[in-house]
Amino acid sequence: MLIVQKFGGSSVANAERIRNVAGIIAESFLMGHDLVVVLSAQGDTTDELLDKAAEINPNPSKRELDMLLTTGEQQSIALMAMCLEGMGLPVVSLTGWQVGIRTDTVYGSARIRRIYTERLRRELDKKRIVLVAGFQGVNKFDDYTTLGRGGSDATAVALAAALHADRCQIFTDVEGVYTSDPRKVPEAKKLEEITYDEMLELASMGAQVLMNRSVQLAKRYGVELEVLSSLVRAPGTKVKEVSKNMEEMKITGIAKDEHVARVTVVKVADRPGSAFRVLNAVSKAGVDVDMIIQANGREETNDMSFVVAEGDAQRAYDALMERRSAIGFDHVSLDRDIAKVSVVGAGMMSSAGIASLVFEALNDEHINIQMINTSEIKISCVIDAPSADRAVSAIHRKFFES
Ligand code: ADP
Ligand code: ASP
Ligand code: MG
């Protein structure tokens, strides 16, 4: 059996953790499996490297930033290889370049275009454990790129797809995917299974346990994922096309995203094409928007609000202000003190009243809802940031604790 295993930053944070993971790898290898193992940078290494860069230059080029960030993962694979060597096991570590993970040219959030499998196959044929640096690839200029935060998940899934692996195991510091972040909601329950679509919504709405693009890849290539703990031996969560939870459970999980900001364009001229011009300006700046609301307002103008990732807020603001006279509005205001709380579940489609239960939970806590967005399997509410944890707990109690 060919297995792709991925271990996240906390799983390899120090020497003791590396030895622990080496034990898991060794056990699978000694059972006779072919193993490709993707590693993240140790602990908070990526954040520390970002801090180091900021000390030198607060505005470095993305190319050089990627050159720096990719070193974190390279340390992990080398250290893990040394550990496995010390145990007398055959092993080789490979960077994204050595494997042949080719990406597009978007430094900082590159997408994988192609994975060459020849080198991997050669190493596997030699019966070696192959360690691959996660989160990185190489673009057409032969420059290193990174895949976006949490990108080692995407590396693992893409390798599993390219190699037609029999299993793809994502080892992390919790026992699987829970109904909510188990570190914030102690009552959260571990899910036995979850569908790709539900996991994609949870990941996109702030559940960092899997990177959302890794879930997209898994769905596209039919890679079944298993999320499990590197520290506790326990059955994890399967991420797949259909799950048995769909029938029993109305909702599957609750996620929270505090890294969002609201952009309000005030007094937009009330004429055809205004909304287009506003959103076009923002999208041309490479900013994704969510939860668009237009308030029918005074006289000949409307206010338009939407939510963006906090890191994109300034860019959206600048792009709008640059075109202020062409679009026709009074001013733009930014509110960073908000959070988005989302309830996800495939069972929502068939049961009415989910939304009202969510609103009731928030009302019980006297939390004001500022914006609402619904889709077939998701309801999101924007609320003030300080109420976010209380909101998640209240909704969790309503659906899972009675
Ligand atoms: P890794 O370093 O292994 O990639 P991450 O820190 O990226 O790990 O993701 C694991 C973390 O995701 C957990 O420690 C947990 O706090 C958080 N998390 C958020 N939402 C959930 C959820 N619904 N289920 C499980 N973990 C979650
Ligand atoms: N080390 C990278 C990050 O911190 C990638 C990952 O952990 O998956 O985002
Ligand atoms: Mg992660």
pLDDT category, 347, cuts 50, 70, 90?
confident
Residue nearest to ligand 2 atom 6, measured at CA: 150
What confidence tens digit (pLDDT) does each residue in 201-213 have? 999 999 999 999 9
Residue nearest to ligand 2 atom 4, measured at CA: 46
What confidence tens digit (pLDDT) does each residue in 57-97 have? 999 999 999 999 999 999 999 999 999 999 999 999 999 99
Tell me how far apart the alpha carbons of residues 293 and 343 are, in angstroms, rounded to a whole number.
Answer: 20
Q: Give pTM, 2 decimals.
A: 0.94
The angle subtended at Cα 134 by Cα 164 and Cα 108, nearest 5°, is 120
What pLDDT shows up at residue 366?
97
What pLDDT shows up at residue 248?
67
What confidence tens digit (pLDDT) does each residue in 331-343 have? 999 999 999 999 9
Tell me how far apart the alpha carbons of residues 41 and 292 are, in angstroms, rounded to a whole number.
Answer: 37
- Give yes or no for residue 247 having a pLDDT over 70: no
- In sequence order, what DSSP letters do the residues of 269-316 get, joined into one string? E-STTHHHHHHHHHHHTT---EEEEEEE-STTEEEEEEEEEGGGHHHH
**Which residues contact residue 279 at a Cβ distance below 8 angstroms, ignoring those fewer than 6 apart?**
289, 292, 306
Pocket test for ligand 1, best of 172, 214, 392 (most atoms within 8 A of CB): 172
Structural contact between residues 161 and 112, judged by C-beta atoms closer than 8 angstroms:
no
**Which residues contact residue 39 at a Cβ distance below 8 angstroms, ignoring those fewer than 6 apart?**
6, 7, 12, 73, 76, 77, 80, 131, 132, 133, 134, 152
> Residue 32: how many CB atoms within 10 A of its CB?
8
Please state, in angstroms and as integers, the Cα–Cα distance from residue 7 to each residue in 39, 85, 129, 200, 209, following that order: 5, 18, 14, 20, 12
Residues within a 6 A CB radius of ligand 2: 8-9, 40-41, 46, 72, 134-135, 149-153
Residue nearest to ligand 2 atom 5, measured at CA: 150
What pLDDT shows up at residue 250?
79
What's the CA-to-centroid distance between 209 and ligand 1, angstroms?
A: 3
What's the CA-to-centroid distance between 277 and ligand 1, angstroms?
A: 38
What pLDDT shows up at residue 349?
76
What confidence tens digit (pLDDT) does each residue in 88-133 have? 999 999 999 999 999 999 999 999 999 999 999 999 999 999 999 9
Pocket test for ligand 2, best of 5, 40, 51 (most atoms within 8 A of CB): 40
What residues does each domain of the chain span? 2-173
Tell me how far apart the alpha carbons of residues 147 and 158 are, in angstroms, rounded to a whole number.
Answer: 12
The angle subtended at Cα 347 by Cα 342 and Cα 353, nearest 5°, is 70
pLDDT over 70 percentage in the chain: 98
Ligand nearest to the CA of 198: 1
Q: What is the mean pLDDT of residues 50-55?
A: 98
Ligand nearest to the CA of 209: 1
pLDDT over 90 percentage in the chain: 89
What confidence tens digit (pLDDT) does each residue in 174-187 have? 999 999 999 999 99
As assigned by CATH, the class of the 2-173 domain is alpha beta
Please state, in angstroms and as integers, the Cα–Cα distance from residue 109 to each residue in 23, 103, 140, 210, following that order: 32, 10, 15, 16
Average pLDDT, the chain: 95
